[in-house]
Structures are given as C-alpha cells and as structure tokens.
Amino acid sequence: MLLLDIFSKNCVQIMALESPNDRDEEAFRRFVSQIRNSNGSTNVCSDEFPEDPVVKAWYDAIDEVGIDRLSREEWWYKVINDPQNLPVMKTHRKRFPVHYVVGRHSPWYHEKVISKDKRRSTYAIYVGPFTSNGANKIGTMQGGAQSSLFDFATGELASAYAAHPSPTAYLNVQMKKPAHPIPGVFRLDCWIDRIEGKKIYVHGKLSNGTNGKVYAEAESLIIDTRNKGRITADLSDAIKTKNRSKL
C-alpha cells in the first residue's frame, strides 16, 4: 500500500488545484490571526486550530498506511498479545493533539503497550517520509527524529509509573547504525532501569523488531516532582528483598 495512493484517495481535491496560490484566503487569514493571538497563551484549546482538509488528508494517509503495516508485523502481534501487557493504545493524534512529537501533525503513526507494572513499554512506529536526514532524498531517519521519540517514550513511561506528568532532566542518545529504510516500521522499547529517590532512570532501544538489529539506544533521567507513595514503596521492597538475601 503506497502512501501517495492513500493520500490521493483521501484528498482528491488537491489534484484540482491549479497552483499553490489556490487557497481559501479568508481561512488563511483567520489561521494567521489565531496563531498570532495565541502567542504566550497557556490555555488555548487545540479545537481553536482547525486543520486544513489537505493537511489532514496527508496525516490520515500516514495513519491508514501505518495501521496496515503494523497489522502485518509478527513481532508486534506477539507483543500486544503478551498477557503481561495492558491493552494496546492507539489514536495518539487525538489523545495529544498539539504535542510536538505525537500530535496531529506528527510525522509517524504509532501504537503502544505498557506492562501491567508500568515499568516497561513497547511502541510499534510507522515512520513517514518527513523524518529523513537528507535534504532531497528519503531513506534514513534523522537523529533528531529518533531523539524526539526517545524523549517522548521514556518520559511517558516514567510519568505513567509515577502516576503524574514528570519532567525530563537529561536525555543521552547513542546512534548505533543508520535507521532505515523510511518510510518503514520500527520498534521502540523502554524500561525503568533504576530509581534513586526522585530520580527515575529509563533506558530505551530503537530496533527493527524482527532480528534484533539496534539502531539507537538512550538513557533518560526523569524527575518525580512529587516522589510519593509508589516509588517509596518500591524502594522499601527492594531494600527488604536485599536484606532477606543476606540471611
């Protein structure tokens, strides 16, 4: 299934445009006004920024191709059917509409599962063409795109474990091999490596999902700004287990 074919099907009207200047000028001016007036605002709802039909058709096409591609990945089928995992999560564009990495205009489609103890997560990601490291050629995923995925995924896992949004203190990404081909499907695994007080250390790995080929690895430090209950209890359990092992 070709992305361009899906795009053309979802957005027939783009073929009728005579030039890039054929746009709804009134709508364009309205969008400019909305963006300008939202400068510095922290409470602007995403519904105040309606999507242009042509733009929406492109991202709908990415999602349609992504859903089809992920449904044919054997490794992903095994992950989502693992009884240790919670049900698969989709619709990231709707759940995080204005998010920089996974919002309505994110250049990929992803599905995610998280373990029942919320210490591990796995993403299946269909990466679209506008993540390339080349100016005019498509083929290898750009390093910043990979780092953005690690930043989001490690932070989301730590925040789920801590039961509230938690900020990232640092992110260290090591590129191992060129991540290609794109467009293509990738696997992203994250797991909590250790906890030290308010510090949650999360590791991540980007691979092809089929034969274990690793493209990049990451470590992030997430700060639990509340540091209540769950993490304290985990540390206590770890200490008790360690003490019992000495007996």
Mean pLDDT of 26-47: 67
Helix axes of 53-71 and 3-10: crossing angle, nearest 10 degrees = 140
Cis ω before 178 (30° cut-off from 0) = no
Q: How confident is the model at residue 40 (pLDDT cuts 50, 70, 90)?
A: low
Residue 242 pairs in a beta bridge with none
Number of C-alpha atoms within 13 angstroms, CB side, residue 44?
15
Q: Using DSSP, state whether 200 is helix, strand or coil.
A: strand
Q: What is the DSSP letter of 222?
A: E
The pair of structure tokens assigned to 97 is 């509409």
Task: Report which of 222, 109, 129, 118 is spatially closest to residue 170, judged by C-alpha positions.
Answer: 222
Residues 6+ apart with CB under 8 A from 179: 140, 141, 146, 186, 206, 215, 216
Tell me how long the chain is.
247
> What is the model's pLDDT at position 2?
57
More confident residue, 104 or 15: 104
**Buried residues in 145-156 as b, exposed as e (16+ CB within 10 A):** bbbbbbbbbbbb
Amino acid 5 reads D
Q: Which CATH number fits domain 3-37+47-246: 3.90.650.10, 3.40.50.150, 3.10.129.10, 3.40.50.300?
A: 3.10.129.10
Cβ-contact 140, 180 below 8 angstroms: yes
Residue 181 pLDDT exceeds 70: yes
DSSP labels, 107-131: SEEEEEEEBTTSSEEEEEEEE-STT
Mean pLDDT of 47-54: 72
The pair of structure tokens assigned to 166 is 């938690």
Across the chain, which distance is largest between two alpha carbons, in Å? 81
Q: pTM of the full predicted structure?
A: 0.79
> What is the model's pLDDT at position 246?
46
